[in-house]
Amino acid sequence: MAFENFPTSLQPIFQQNMLERRFQEQLGAMNAYRKSAYRLPVEKRNGETMIYSRAGRISPVLDDISPSSNTGLDNGLTGIGGVGAGNPTYPFEQFPVSIGMRPYFLDLNLIQEQEVIANLFKQNVDNLAEQAALSLDLYAMLTAFNAYLGGQSWATAADTAATTFPVDNINGFDTQFAQTTIPTSGGGSATFSYGLPTTVSPSNPLPAKIYPAAGGAAVVVSIIGVTADGTNVSSLGPRLGRSGSVTLAANATWLEGDVLVADDAPQMLRPNGKQSAFALDATDTIGAQAIINAVAELRANGVKPPLANGTYPCYIDPVVDAQFFTDPQYQIMSQGQFQSPDFHNARVSQNFGVTFVPTTNAPSFKLVNHAGANLTVRHAIVTGEKYVQESPFEGTYDAIKAMPDMGVADYRFVDDIVLVNRLPLDRAGQIMSMGFYWIGGFVAPTDVTITSAVVPSASAARFKRAAVVQVAAQR
């Protein structure tokens, strides 16, 4: 849109496309988690929430048909159907994404020396660009970790013959996919999850297990309700955790530190067989085998590597990255690593099947562990294709293009982010507004319909496209 009405000292900056160039350079340098997110825009005029559907696979045929039953127009087959038929032969699952706007604006007072004005203007552009890139990268990170850290937590207090189980994090215990059973073409039946996950209840229970921290057999339980604490004291912090309690269908007994795991919880790996962050000790640092196991988990679930070099990105912060170099197995297997063509400053390890992507945005939190010691918990995550979906609102660009060109504001689009510079409209004509906004949402898609019936090596996890490695650190 027009920029002729802007101050003379700023017009050359617009004319030389400095805004777009500087904005784009900052965005490219900051992206990490968002870079491998799958982009699928939200269509216009469909409301604020889009529900995406994904079809499951058809179960394999393992038995021959009996020659005596191969008669009639249906050749003796039962349960024949398809999409929309009375007896569908494969399930559908759904996941929603809600759109919102994330804005930030700065004011610039133009009553200053011309040289200072230009410097402040450019500094604002740089800072807004960095903030926009970091905001969306953290949005992608939080979306992924909220999904892949959920469905498992530990008891924050002991109880005997009770149904109210207090946990550090209730995320992942509060919803469950509905189940249905249908006949199959071989005369048998199949049970599967379908639709959108709905709130757990006595009629929609979530199967789970309690694993004693001291060892021993797991206790099978059923979760029928979830209650969040009035004040959130989760160790994971307010962005990733919600402290509270789950309600069990029957009495159970547990000790502090016993671990509750939903049957559809995502895979989380920890050193030395530790079952929770609460159980970690200072010596539980990362090693090569944890990354190898994470890659194996993705491959077992049929998740494809998203990078052009055939590897999975492994996002690690500098502290976790430094721990690798104390592991003898890593030292041997990392020989011959080379630079990644997909990520700046990343390194590729063909032996591991991953591209190690450095980031300062990985989540970490502090807690007092089972032994009463202060500990920092950090995370690496190995991701497959479409582990997070970014859904920008496609109506943003069209709406701005449809505005009458009044010469009041200049709009620049970079990576679905809108940079806005508005003329001084205050009484004194001194204060210019600068800012950005992004409209859309992120979601971690589920793969609940991909079970061992259709991919024999698949897990029961609701979220299958990433694997988190949780370790202890000194800072």
Tens of pLDDT, residue by residue over 407-423, are: 788 888 888 899 888 88
In contact, 257 and 279? CB cutoff 8 Å: yes
Mean pLDDT of 88-113: 80
64-68, 236-240, 304-308, 424-428: the lowest-pLDDT one? 64-68
Task: Give pLDDT, residue 1.
Answer: 47
List CB contacts of 85: < 8 A, sequence separation 6 or more: none
Instruction: State pLDDT tens for residues 438-462.
Output: 999 999 999 998 988 889 999 999 9
Task: Give pLDDT, residue 90.
Answer: 72
Name the residue with higher pLDDT: 87 or 234.
234
- Which of the listed ranges 4-18, 216-230, 329-343, 400-414 does the model predict with the highest average pLDDT? 216-230
Residue 54 tokens read as 């994904």
Name the residue with higher pLDDT: 308 or 332.
308
**Does residue 350 register a pLDDT over 80?**
no
In contact, 175 and 204? CB cutoff 8 Å: no
Name the residue with higher pLDDT: 339 or 120.
120
Name the residue with higher pLDDT: 29 or 75.
75
DSSP 8-state symbol, 267: P
How far apart CA 393 and CA 388 sit, in angstroms, is 16
In contact, 197 and 177? CB cutoff 8 Å: yes
Neighbours of 122 (CB within 10 A): 15
Instruction: State pLDDT tens for residues 291-318.
Output: 999 999 999 999 999 988 899 999 999 9
Task: Give pLDDT, residue 29.
Answer: 42
Instruction: State pLDDT tens for residues 175-213.
Output: 999 887 766 655 566 677 888 899 999 999 999 999 999
- Amino acid in the structure at residue 252: A
b or e along 14-44 (b: 16 or more beta carbons within 10 Å of the residue's beta carbon)?
beeeebeebbbebbeebbbbbbbbeebbbee
**Does residue 106 register a pLDDT over 90?**
no
List CB contacts of 43: < 8 A, sequence separation 6 or more: 50, 394
Task: Choose among 215, 353, 352: nearest CA to 275.
Answer: 215
- Which of the listed ranges 45-54, 68-77, 349-358 does the model predict with the highest average pLDDT? 349-358
Instruction: State pLDDT tens for residues 359-377.
Output: 999 999 999 999 999 999 9
| Domain residue spans of the chain | 11-47+96-138+390-441, 152-264
How far apart CA 473 and CA 475 sit, in angstroms, is 6
How far apart CA 384 and CA 450 sit, in angstroms, is 15
**Does residue 113 register a pLDDT over 60?**
no
Output the average pLDDT for the chain: 85
9-23, 155-169, 283-297: the lowest-pLDDT one? 9-23
Name the residue with higher pLDDT: 35 or 281.
281
Task: Choose among 236, 232, 150, 241: nearest CA to 468.
Answer: 150
Task: Give pLDDT, residue 188.
Answer: 64
Mean pLDDT of 254-281: 97
Task: Give pLDDT, residue 346.
Answer: 76
**Does residue 30 register a pLDDT over 60?**
no
Provide the percentage of residues in the chain whose pLDDT is more than 70.
83
**Does residue 220 register a pLDDT over 80?**
yes
- Rg (alpha carbons) of the chain, rounded to whole number: 26
Token pair 């090596």 is found at 457
Task: Give pLDDT, residue 371.
Answer: 96
Name the residue with higher pLDDT: 136 or 15.
136
Task: Give pLDDT, residue 28.
Answer: 45
Residue 310 tokens read as 């055939």
Q: What is the pTM of this model?
A: 0.86
Neighbours of 381 (CB within 10 A): 27
15-24, 42-51, 236-245: the lowest-pLDDT one? 15-24
| Full DSSP string of 191-252 | EEEEEEEEE-BTTB-EEEEEE-TT----EEEEEEEEEE-SS---TT-TTT---EEEEEEEEE
Q: What is the dihedral of CA 113, 114, 120, 122, to 10 degrees?
A: -170
Task: Give pLDDT, residue 79.
Answer: 54
Residue 153 tokens read as 């937590």
How far apart CA 23 and CA 173 sit, in angstroms, is 41
Query: Quick one: pLDDT band at residue 22, thresholds 50, 70, 90?
Result: low
Mean pLDDT of 65-70: 74
Within 92-151, strands assigned E span 92-98, 100-109
Task: Give pLDDT, residue 398.
Answer: 82
Name the residue with higher pLDDT: 126 or 166.
166
Measure CA 173 to chain center: 17
Burial class (CB in 10 A: 0-12, 13-18, 19+), 401: exposed
Query: Quick one: pLDDT band at residue 344, thresholds 50, 70, 90?
Result: low
